[in-house]
Structure 1
Amino acid sequence: MIGYVFLNIAIMIVLLGLLFYMNKKHISFTKRVFTALGLGIIFGLLLQYFYEPGSVAIVKSTDWFSIVGSGYVKFLQMIVMPLVFISILSAFTRLKLTSNIGKISVLIIGILLGTTAIAAAIGITSATVFDLEAVQIEQGDAETSRGAEITEKTGTIEDKMSMPQQIIELIPANPFLDLTGARSTSTISVVIFAAFLGIAYLGVKRKQPEHAEFFSKIVDALHSIIMRVVTLILRLTPYGILAIMTNTVATSGLGAILKLGKFVGASYVALIVMFLIHLLLLMIAGLNPITYLRKAFPVLSFAFTARSSAGALPMNIQTQKQLGVSEGIANFAGSFGLSIGQNGCAGIYPAMLAVMIAPTVGIDPLSPSFIATLILIVAISSFGVAGVGGGATFAAILVLSAMDLPVALAGLLISVEPLIDMGRTALNVSGSMTSGVLTSKITHDLDKEQYNETSVKLDTEM
């Protein structure tokens, strides 16, 4: 068996070498990402074909592959907080957010919440059209265990379910703790802290310009260093996607996916429809949706494979800049999108679950009052949803509890949860980028020439 593990590792090294060769030949970043995605799927399926599910060969092999895949995600997570902090602060020192920061924040949050409400309506429609009900799913040991775990978790977050408490959670009582990313709302808390420092800088600039100038030079230097680190990490994207996708496909339970294909299909129909609405909103704003799709493909591919909105933040911001969004707005949109209004995890998913579970307690999920209440609760509850694995579960607990529905049934889809979560995460990232682009367009800050530029570099070839 050890020999097979070595063989699998050798094949992975060859595939990584192929991506490196493509880079040396200056093949575009997007093509390398697409190639990595395809190779990961094929290699994962081959591992499934030649080995028994859960075999030692697959477990050991994917464990080694994780050095590349999980290691890449950790590098991205490492740079998230420094990137958010220094980018927001530099937006003030460079006089890019001084006059309309309030308007920008309101627009971004409004678009995020508005699209989440639309996503909830789409989730309700999809669950209804596909006639999804919780009673259709057989509960095994895994589902029962997951349900008990969710029920236990509900008690620990009930105090944070009210709107006032969710808003309070966004305020940074200890900014140094939030810089470590310890809380689900840490990213927004860091944004708030950086904004306070930026406003303070503007005050000092009027009264003590020499101190402000010195501080500005420090911020500019740190910004240059952080952005260089981001560039170095983004160069690793194709390699990370190859390893992550291979692991995901190789360890996915194909039997469970086939068994619950109806639920998976309904979820992806809803996700695709909501993504098309993102494109429609851009088109209404007078922007070419095909251009957005082409430039967004690398970051959406990463979000799909890694299932981490937070890990995708550096690429999210870089992509928005490629779309003509200013750095300040890009950072606000990307950061707010991690914890507010996630269209997939906080919109579609809890709405579909509520419609599926309602009949089990004698509630008609098609009654106008139920639908209106559900959409409103989904939108409000989307505050403070973590942009990492588990955020969808948190959102589901909030919504189901508020609707007086049994939260334990949220564990019924555990066997296909990773597959559905891939699409949800990609939609979350698209939602935050769409909010940034639309906000820039509304505030007349969008660089249309940059948006329409055909090349896609993401600053990875610097």
Structure 2
Amino acid sequence: MNISIIINIVLMAVIIFGIAFLKKKRTSFTVRVLLAMAMGIVFGAVLQLFYGASSDVVKQSNTWFSIVGTGYVRLLRMIVIPLIFVSITSAIINQNSKNLGKMATQIIAILLITTAISALVGAGTANMFKLTAEGFEIGEKEQKAVENTEIRFDDFKSKPIQDQIVEIIPINPFYSMTGQGSSSTLSVVVFAAFIGIAAIGIRKSKPESAQSFAKFINMLHDVVMRMVTMVLRLTPYGVLALMTKMVSTSNFNEILKLINFVIASYVALAIVFIIHLLILAIFKLNPITYVIKAATPLMFAFTSRSSAGTLPLNVDAQVEKLGVSQGHANLAASLGTSIGQNGCAGVYPAMLAVMIAPMVGINPLAPAFLIKLVIITALSSFGIAGVGGGATFAALTVLSAMGLPVGLAGLLIAIEPLIDMARTMVNVSDSMVAGIVSSKLMGELNIDVYNGKIPYKENV
């Protein structure tokens, strides 16, 4: 093994032990996560400065760092499905939720409305920055990306949106629980809700069975939540490794070529995040409190670029720190991984549509174009719920529905990781806001917990 790689591994180990030492000193969890992110940025920048982003030393070093980073993400994904299943089932059973339909309707409505607003923000920002697809250079790498995008789109559009929505209903729920299906998360939500409703339905006819099943689910819930706590304790180390890899391997020359689009994307996403805070303020909830208490899941979403991977952190923050009821938190976080993603399915497709429109003779400022774009973007964010691929598939769906060429999605592949970080953070924020607002509307939000009058126990 190259001596440089050994040195890099030792340095990473030293940083990890340093963060572990801070835990023994009772440094707060949020501070440790922030510090880990900062150290990852610095360490990644140093690696790229010394060796170069595409060097073998950086590649080999990151394969070792991935034991921590990728391993942590895999652990999170491992507990996502069990967490969704037991949390939603136990919430329905324990609350005897007759308002499940109302709760789900409110959450989906919030997700879709904020996506429509996000699309309008994305379109407005693209127009403000005068973004256009005309300035993009198509080299060999970009051409291949365009071709791959168009091939993926051909496969995607062969399945109607109606079929994609129907696929949310699982034929084999146990297969969905393996996480293998493209709609596995939502399928587990549907199955868990059915089981919970069925358990409530037999309380009068078979009370002993209903009681025994409720005890079993609650016991399982306690065990799964303990697993969640065990994994969450590894968050600072996972963030450190993930951020190191991202910074050390980023092609900053490619980013500089598209810097205007990167800046515009971050401005649009920042505006959407501010809108989330304004929504909370409208419902008489302190937005600053939200930012402070939601910092950990938002930071991890930014680092990992995985809404599903952030789900355990998302639920934990909503319930323990923000006072959201268990049912609302789990349903909002689960649905938010696939429906109404403000960053990936709102801002991004709308910006691409505005950039491409002038090339086909359409005025991107025309009210008719903007109204159509907002409506299609909001509906498409639900329509792709059963399909993996995130922002790319959202962009393909919107561009196709608008009658625009889809190739631009492939041209932006070089900067995908950078803008996807902020997009994922906004996606997670939207699901958290949906949980908070729906819980408040139904009178199930613990205001004292939200405002910090009842201190939460930081068990990580």
* Preserved contact between residue 66 and residue 241 of structure 2 (Cα < 8 Å): yes
* Preserved contact between residue 172 and residue 178 of structure 1 (Cα < 8 Å): yes
C-alpha distance 165-392 of structure 1, shift in aligned 2 (>3 A) = same
* Preserved contact between residue 97 and residue 328 of structure 1 (Cα < 8 Å): no
Are residue 361 (structure 1) and residue 360 (structure 2) matched?
yes
Are residue 372 (structure 1) and residue 354 (structure 2) matched?
no
Q: 1:249 aligns with which of 247, 251, 264?
A: 247
Measured against aligned partners, the alpha-carbon deviations of 1:134-159 in whole angstroms (never above 9, x if no partner) come to 11111222221111111001111114
Q: Which residue in the other structure is 2:6 paired with?
A: 6
Kindly state the Cα deviation for residue 49 of structure 1 after the two structures are TM-superposed.
1.1
Q: Which residue in the other structure is 2:185 paired with?
A: 187
Matched residue SS, 2:309 = coil
Kindly state the Cα deviation for residue 454 of structure 1 after the two structures are TM-superposed.
7.3
Q: Which residue in the other structure is 2:32 paired with?
A: 32
CA distance in 2, matches of 1:315, 1:388: 23
Are residue 137 (structure 1) and residue 122 (structure 2) matched?
no
Measured against aligned partners, the alpha-carbon deviations of 1:200-237 in whole angstroms (never above 9, x if no partner) come to 10111111111111111111111111000000000000
In structure 1, stretches of 5+ residues that fail to align are none
CA distance in 2, matches of 1:454, 1:386: 38
What letter is aligned with 1:345? Answer: C
C-alpha distance 40-384 of structure 1, shift in aligned 2 (>3 A) = farther
Measured against aligned partners, the alpha-carbon deviations of 1:106-145 in whole angstroms (never above 9, x if no partner) come to 1000000000000000000010010111111112222211
Q: Which residue in the other structure is 1:173 paired with?
A: 171
Measured against aligned partners, the alpha-carbon deviations of 1:257-306 in whole angstroms (never above 9, x if no partner) come to 12211010000000000000000000110000000000111101100010
Within 5 A, what are the aligned runs for 1:195-214?
195-214=193-212
CA distance in 1, matches of 2:232, 2:388: 21
* Preserved contact between residue 448 and residue 454 of structure 2 (Cα < 8 Å): no
Within 5 A, what are the aligned runs for 1:5-154?
5-94=5-94, 96=95, 98-154=97-153
CA distance in 1, matches of 2:265, 2:326: 33
What letter is aligned with 1:228? Answer: R
What letter is aligned with 1:260? Answer: L
What letter is aligned with 2:202? Answer: V
Q: Which residue in the other structure is 1:157 paired with?
A: 156
Kindly state the Cα deviation for residue 251 of structure 1 after the two structures are TM-superposed.
0.4
Measured against aligned partners, the alpha-carbon deviations of 1:410-435 in whole angstroms (never above 9, x if no partner) come to 11111111000000000000000000
Q: Which residue in the other structure is 1:310 paired with?
A: 308
Kindly state the Cα deviation for residue 384 of structure 1 after the two structures are TM-superposed.
5.1
Q: Which residue in the other structure is 2:294 paired with?
A: 296
* Preserved contact between residue 342 and residue 385 of structure 1 (Cα < 8 Å): no
What letter is aligned with 1:196? Answer: F
| More displaced 10-residue stretch of structure 1: 257-266 or 356-365 | 356-365
CA distance in 2, matches of 1:388, 1:45: 35
CA distance in 1, matches of 2:457, 2:114: 26
Q: Which residue in the other structure is 1:333 paired with?
A: 332
C-alpha distance 231-18 of structure 1, shift in aligned 2 (>3 A) = same
CA distance in 2, matches of 1:210, 1:395: 47
Q: Which residue in the other structure is 1:275 paired with?
A: 273
Q: Which residue in the other structure is 2:416 paired with?
A: 417
Q: Which residue in the other structure is 1:430 paired with?
A: 429
CA distance in 2, matches of 1:455, 1:423: 31
Matched residue SS, 1:181 = coil
In structure 2, stretches of 5+ residues that fail to align are none
C-alpha distance 48-301 of structure 1, shift in aligned 2 (>3 A) = same
What letter is aligned with 1:330? Answer: A
CA RMSD of aligned residues (A): 1.6
C-alpha distance 210-417 of structure 1, shift in aligned 2 (>3 A) = same
CA distance in 1, matches of 2:157, 2:364: 24
CA distance in 1, matches of 2:252, 2:31: 28
CA distance in 1, matches of 2:164, 2:386: 15
What letter is aligned with 2:119? Answer: A
Measured against aligned partners, the alpha-carbon deviations of 1:38-60 in whole angstroms (never above 9, x if no partner) come to 10011111111111230111111
Q: Which residue in the other structure is 1:234 paired with?
A: 232
Kindly state the Cα deviation for residue 247 of structure 1 after the two structures are TM-superposed.
0.3
* TM-score, with length taken from structure 2: 0.97
Matched residue SS, 1:311 = helix
CA distance in 1, matches of 2:23, 2:383: 39
Q: 1:215 aligns with which of 206, 213, 216?
A: 213
* Preserved contact between residue 353 and residue 396 of structure 1 (Cα < 8 Å): yes
Kindly state the Cα deviation for residue 99 of structure 1 after the two structures are TM-superposed.
2.1
* Preserved contact between residue 135 and residue 360 of structure 1 (Cα < 8 Å): yes
C-alpha distance 235-276 of structure 1, shift in aligned 2 (>3 A) = same
* Preserved contact between residue 183 and residue 388 of structure 2 (Cα < 8 Å): no
C-alpha distance 178-346 of structure 1, shift in aligned 2 (>3 A) = same
What letter is aligned with 1:39? Answer: M
Q: Which residue in the other structure is 1:398 paired with?
A: 397
The total of aligned residue pairs comes to 459
CA distance in 2, matches of 1:377, 1:41: 38
Matched residue SS, 2:294 = helix
C-alpha distance 364-458 of structure 1, shift in aligned 2 (>3 A) = farther
Measured against aligned partners, the alpha-carbon deviations of 1:380-412 in whole angstroms (never above 9, x if no partner) come to 000154699831101111111111111122111
| More displaced 10-residue stretch of structure 1: 96-105 or 113-122 | 96-105
Kindly state the Cα deviation for residue 452 of structure 1 after the two structures are TM-superposed.
0.9
C-alpha distance 378-357 of structure 1, shift in aligned 2 (>3 A) = same
| More displaced 10-residue stretch of structure 1: 442-451 or 184-193 | 184-193
* TM-score, with length taken from structure 1: 0.96
Kindly state the Cα deviation for residue 184 of structure 1 after the two structures are TM-superposed.
2.9
| More displaced 10-residue stretch of structure 1: 396-405 or 264-273 | 396-405
